[in-house]
Homo-oligomer: A and B are copies of this chain.
Amino acid sequence: MSGDNKAKVRVAVLVSGGGTNLQALIDAQKSNGLDGCEIVCVISSKPGVFALERAKAAGIPSAVVDRSEYSSSEEFDAAILKCLSDFNAELVILAGFLRILGPTVLNRFPRRILNVHPSLIPSFCGDGFYGLKVHEAALNYGVKVTGATVFYVNEITDGGEIILQKAVDILDGDTPQILQKRVMEQAEWIILPKATVIAAKEILKDKESSL
């Protein structure tokens, strides 16, 4: 399945919902902002989500690995691994993927799985900090600057090596919803494609040095 783009790193995007971060990656690819990468598949842990429509509209193959069809996280992980293998994925981007990947997946893709978190790690991250809760925590603390972080996923929640971060000012009148939207627009959608390119370059370099 390597095909024509021999030099391009094969990217799988894992989703569970609306897929706005997936869209940022698709848009980057369309405007040649995903240098050295090709999004080869979108894998959803839920059927019927809008992210799958986005994939279809962009002509990207997709698959559903429905978490509810597996009795254990190990079986689910095995199904995800199988799917990633079917698409010959080399780099995995978690883009609003609401499931924790277990050690079998992490060990198969060391420094090859990226996630984006809507805060400046190490602030407002770790277990319990997801979605709107992150922005609620930032507003409750009273910080004036927040942002987003893209990092390599490891076994510690939000604890892997940071690739990129971008700051976003908190403004008077911000609600968790308003802040969530601005952090997406001004940080997540910008640094996720950039970090994908950085991670892909590392893969290409590793490939060259192993030739």
Please give the residue numbers on chain A whose beta carbons come within 8 Å of chain B beta carbons, in ascending order: 120-123, 141-145, 147, 149, 161-167
Contacts and interface: CB of A to CB of B under 8 A. Distances in A.
A121 B147 contact: no
A165 B145 CA distance: 6
A121 B122 CA distance: 10
Copies of the chain in the assembly: 2
Given A120-B120, A122-B123, A167-B167, A162 B147 contact: no
Contacts of A142: 161-162
Nearest to A141: B122
Contacts of A120: 120, 123, 143, 145, 167
A131 to B, nearest CB: 20
A163 B170 CA distance: 12
A84 B168 CA distance: 38
26 contacts: A120-B120, A120-B123, A120-B143, A120-B145, A120-B167, A121-B143, A122-B123, A122-B141, A122-B143, A123-B123, A141-B162, A142-B161, A142-B162, A143-B162, A143-B165, A144-B149, A144-B162, A144-B163, A144-B164, A144-B165, A145-B147, A145-B165, A145-B166, A145-B167, A147-B167, A167-B167
A117 B161 CA distance: 25
Nearest to A195: B144
Nearest to A144: B165
A131 B145 CA distance: 21
Contacts of A149: 144
A123 B161 CA distance: 16
A20 B99 CA distance: 49
Nearest to A161: B142
A122 B138 CA distance: 10
A163 B141 CA distance: 12
A151 to B, nearest CB: 9
Contacts of A161: 142
A156 B5 CA distance: 57
A141 B144 CA distance: 22
